[in-house]
Amino acid sequence: MYKKLGGTVALLAVGLLSQAQKVNVPTVFVDAYKQTEVMLASIAEERGNNTDLVSPRTLENGKLKLVPAKDWTSGFFAGELWMLYRASHRSEWKAKAEEFTAREEKEKFNGGTHDMGFKIYCSYGTGYKYTKNAAYKDVIIQSAKTLSTRFNPKVGCIRSWDHHKEQWGYPVIIDNMMNLELLFAATRLSGDSSFYKIAVSHANTTMKNHFRPDYSSYHVVDYDTVTGKVVKRNTHQGYADESAWARGQAWALYGYTMCYRETKNVAYLRQAENVAKFIFNHPNLPADKIPYWDFNAPGIPNEPRDASAAAVIASGLFELAEYSKNKKEYLTVANTILQNLTNHYRSPIGENKGFILLHSTGSKPANSEVDVPLNYADYYYLEALIRSKEGMKK
């Protein structure tokens, strides 16, 4: 379990130790199977007859919080189950993955959100990767069609939020980079290049407008739909508009690495490398490489960490290492993160309703989901473990 380490020397010792070791992936997955069995029992108990609740998201005051399919996090648990099936080849995990994936299907027509990739690609996309189920392919394509309706050619981006219309006219958030993977997949699966073109336009526009000279990213960029110009830039879930929200940097690193994989556009590779350089060189990155919730949070070192950001960064780095001349450095940092998450941020077996990682931060400014487990932290942690062992095998 997590223990706060006293001082820089202790943190440095953890960081150096981790660089010399790799996680024993099969052993960690054995623990993940046990925890997920606890989670499945917790879900059954909490859900009861309420079929609208489809997936676990976090803990609130020690109680399991379940969410409906429309919630942006609803697809992650199904994806975790698919990864447990991938690692074990056990039919019971496949059956559970199919069950929880099916709960997401109605979202393929939900045009009121940009989070189609998180919901559908992390569930159906992961399932299709491991089974080639033709029915899953159809859901992915339909979901991409639905997501495409949120694209504005004048802006060049997919609209993110429909809420807070008094604050933003056409908000685009850095998180939206993650949803482009669904569009790229839909082009591969359907032959329809329109999805690919939308993804590239969004990636290019975001690269132009979301980043500061040091390659840190704003969270939100608001656009004028008449002119296509930027109206303002904010960091809604970070400390301040000009601060570097940790998970935002993680989304950027992972997103542009994925875009390079799908397009081979070297500009995306360079962007991912530059974001990685920003993260690595920031004076407030702890030695154990698990970032604080914001790189500029005012109370560092007495600020909450974000294990979810660390897990996303690690998974992204394992992929980026396959494309970059900086392979050794990326693997060292990715393995350091995995080792420290494994040794210091995991839940004891049988506790925390079955979540795997502890100490993530959802939205500190809103005092929401601070120092709690989060399902997307578990998803990207398992993905990073698989990538550390298998690379980017299809």
349 belongs to a structural domain: yes
Please spell the DSSP secondary structure of 313-328, one letter per residue.
HHHHHHHHTTTSTTHH
pLDDT at 15 over 90: no
Q: Is residue 394 part of a domain?
A: no
What pLDDT score was predicted for residue 14?
Answer: 41
Q: Is the pLDDT of residue 20 over 80?
A: no
- Let me know if residue 1 belongs to a domain: no
- Token couple for 302: 């007495």
Average pLDDT over residues 101-124: 97
> Is 63 strand, coil or helix?
strand
* Cβ neighbours for 238, distance < 8 A, ≥ 6 positions apart: 219, 244, 245, 248, 294, 296, 365
Q: Is residue 357 part of a domain?
A: yes
Paired with 96 in beta bridges are: none
Q: Which of 47-51, 188-192, 241-245 has the lowest mean pLDDT?
A: 47-51
d(CA 278, CA 280): 6
Looking at the predicted structure, is the pLDDT value of residue 262 above 50? yes
Q: Is the pTM of this model over 0.85?
A: yes
CATH code for position 230: 1.50.10.10
Q: What is the rounded distance in angstroms from the CA atom of residue 285 to the CA atom of residue 103?
A: 38
Judged against a pLDDT cut of 50, whether residue 239 lies above it is answered with: yes
Task: For 25-40, write each residue's pLDDT tens digit.
Answer: 999 999 999 999 999 9
Active centre residues (catalytic): 115, 175
Q: Is residue 2 part of a domain?
A: no
CB 372 within 8 A of CB 58: yes
The answer to whether residue 4 scores a pLDDT higher than 80 is no
Q: Which amino acid type is present at position 73?
A: T
Whether residue 393 lies inside any domain: the answer is no
φ/ψ of residue 223, rounded to 5? -115, 155
* Structural contact between residues 1 and 343, judged by C-beta atoms closer than 8 angstroms: no
* pLDDT value for 9: 31
pLDDT at 167 over 80: yes
Q: What's residue 267's pLDDT?
A: 98
CB 169 within 8 A of CB 157: no
Is 369 inside a domain boundary? yes
pLDDT value for 5: 31
Mean pLDDT for the stretch of residues 211-227: 98
Q: How many domains does the chain have?
A: 1
**What is the predicted pLDDT for the residue at 8?**
33
Residue 367 pLDDT greater than 50, yes or no: yes
Beta bridge partners of 158: 151
Beta strands in the chain (DSSP E): 53-60, 63-68, 151-152, 157-158, 171-173, 220-223, 230-234, 360-363, 368-372
pLDDT of residue 69: 98
pLDDT, averaged across the chain: 94
Does 368 fall in a domain? yes
Is the pLDDT at 376 greater than 70? The verdict is yes
Average pLDDT of span 249-274: 98
The residues near 63 (Cβ < 8 Å, ≥ 6 apart) are: 46
Q: What is the pLDDT of residues 95-111, one digit of tens each?
A: 999 999 999 999 999 99
Residue 87's alpha-carbon distances to 91, 197, 358, in angstroms, are: 11, 34, 22
Residue 392 has what pLDDT?
Answer: 79
Enclosing domain of residue 176: 7-388
Residue 337's pLDDT band, with cuts at 50, 70 and 90, is very high
> Rounded to an integer, what distance in angstroms lies between the CA atom of residue 357 and that of residue 82?
18
For residues 116 and 171, give the distance between their C-alpha atoms in angstroms, rounded to a whole number: 16
